[in-house]
């Protein structure tokens, strides 16, 4: 490993992470790169480069922050097939693999090859705007949500050209398994293993009896039409607003050929992380029962 790119949350205290990374790199003559947004006094001896140059040069991207920071790192690194190591500076951070105190040890394990690379499904989302074809990539989710002041959203969900349901609702979420523990979970959707090849479609506060998540194969194409009976909708991907669409517009969602690559060290699993971060507790009469499983 010759070069490590460092991406960090601009408002979180990253001093422990930076000190560990710099010390580890200096011992091994590994080059560090970071982005112009990282203040000079935080990484004074590290070269600032543009995102494209960072991922083109790096063998590994270290992302220090919450899930938002790690998602951003994935979006930059995935096209170049560069793996991302997530360092947890957030509250939940399902995507993070290590805490700041473990950074140096994690980098050493990666250097030795004592790690695995976990692929994460991404979604390519397309629509037309002002005569242009727009495409954005989402690792968590793409959301069509009602625009404030424009009434409820009226949306039609079709799979493979076949209408499934029409919703009068606050919106609709199309999520990857990675995103199942984000907005989709808050809207009542299921927790799905990140290794599952599926796209989850969840209505947000629908005005009707049907409010269940639809899970479709990753090989299927999803289409969401904005119907004339509703108002404008805002399109968001991974929490960032991308556009405002008027009735008559449509968004297609399909699995991307580009996958995110996350470093896993084997110290924990998705299920252990989910149990801890969602603060799942057992009933008192089962918590000490050996027959209840681990």
Task: With residue 220 as reference, give the H or E element that holds it.
Answer: none
> Exposure of 72 by Cβ count < 10 A (0-12 exposed, 13-18 middle, 19+ buried)?
buried
Q: pLDDT tens across 36-53, in order? A: 988 877 788 899 999 999
Q: What is the mean pLDDT of residues 264-271?
A: 87
Q: What is the mean pLDDT of residues 144-158?
A: 92
Q: What is the mean pLDDT of residues 270-284?
A: 83
Judge contact between 105 and 266, C-beta under 8 A: no
The pair of three-digit structure tokens given for residue 120, joined into one six-digit string: 């994460």
CA angle 144, 147, 153 (to 5 degrees): 60
Residue 268 — pLDDT band, cuts 50, 70, 90? confident
Q: pLDDT tens across 200-212, in order? A: 999 999 988 788 9
Say whether 67 is catalytic.
Answer: yes
Residue 287 — pLDDT band, cuts 50, 70, 90? low
6 or 291, greater pLDDT: 6
Q: pLDDT tens across 242-259, in order? A: 999 999 999 999 999 999
pLDDT of 92: 66
pLDDT above 60 for 292: no
Q: pLDDT tens across 76-128, in order? A: 999 999 999 999 987 767 899 999 999 999 999 999 999 999 999 999 999 99
The one catalytic residue among 29, 59, 67, 285: 67
CB atoms within 10 A of CB 127: 22
Residue 294 — pLDDT band, cuts 50, 70, 90? low
277 or 134, greater pLDDT: 134
pLDDT of 293: 54
Sketch out the chain's domains with CATH numbers: 3-120+259-284 (3.40.50.10330), 123-255 (2.60.200.30)
99 or 267, greater pLDDT: 99
- E strands of the chain, at which residues? 3-8, 31-34, 47-48, 60-65, 84-88, 116-120, 123-129, 132-138, 141-146, 153-159, 162-169, 171-175, 198-204, 214-217, 222-226, 233-237, 240-245, 250-255, 260-264
Per DSSP, the three-state class of 286 is helix
Judge contact between 122 and 194, C-beta under 8 A: no
């Amino acid at each position: 490993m010759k070069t490590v790119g460092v991406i960090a949350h601009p408002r979180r205290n990253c001093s422990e992470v930076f000190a560990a990374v710099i010390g580890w790199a200096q011992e091994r003559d590994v080059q560090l790169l970071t982005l112009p947004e990282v203040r000079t006094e935080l990484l004074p001896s590290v070269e600032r480069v543009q995102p494209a140059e960072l991922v083109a040069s790096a063998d590994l991207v270290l992302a220090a922050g919450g899930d938002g920071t790690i998602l951003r790192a994935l979006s930059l690194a995935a096209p170049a097939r560069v793996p991302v190591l997530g360092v947890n500076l957030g509250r939940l951070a399902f995507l993070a693999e290590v805490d700041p105190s473990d950074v140096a040890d994690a980098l050493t394990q990666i250097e030795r090859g004592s790690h695995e690379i976990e692929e994460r499904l991404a979604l390519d989302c397309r629509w037309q705007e002002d005569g242009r074809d727009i495409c954005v990539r989402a690792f968590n989710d793409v959301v069509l949500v009602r625009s404030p002041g424009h009434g409820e959203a009226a949306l039609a969900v079709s799979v493979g050209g076949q209408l499934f349901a029409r919703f009068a609702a606050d919106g609709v979420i199309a999520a990857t398994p990675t995103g199942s523990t984000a907005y989709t979970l808050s809207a009542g959707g299921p927790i799905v293993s990140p290794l599952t090849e599926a796209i989850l479609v969840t209505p947000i506060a629908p005005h009707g009896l049907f409010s269940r998540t639809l899970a479709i194969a990753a090989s299927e194409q999803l289409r969401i039409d904005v119907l004339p009976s509703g108002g404008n909708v805002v399109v968001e991907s991974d929490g960032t607003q991308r556009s405002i669409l008027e009735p008559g517009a449509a968004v297609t969602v399909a699995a991307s050929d580009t996958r995110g690559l996350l470093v896993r060290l084997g110290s924990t699993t998705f299920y252990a992380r989910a149990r801890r971060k969602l603060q799942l507790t057992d009933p008192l009469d089962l918590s000490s029962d050996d027959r209840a499983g681990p």
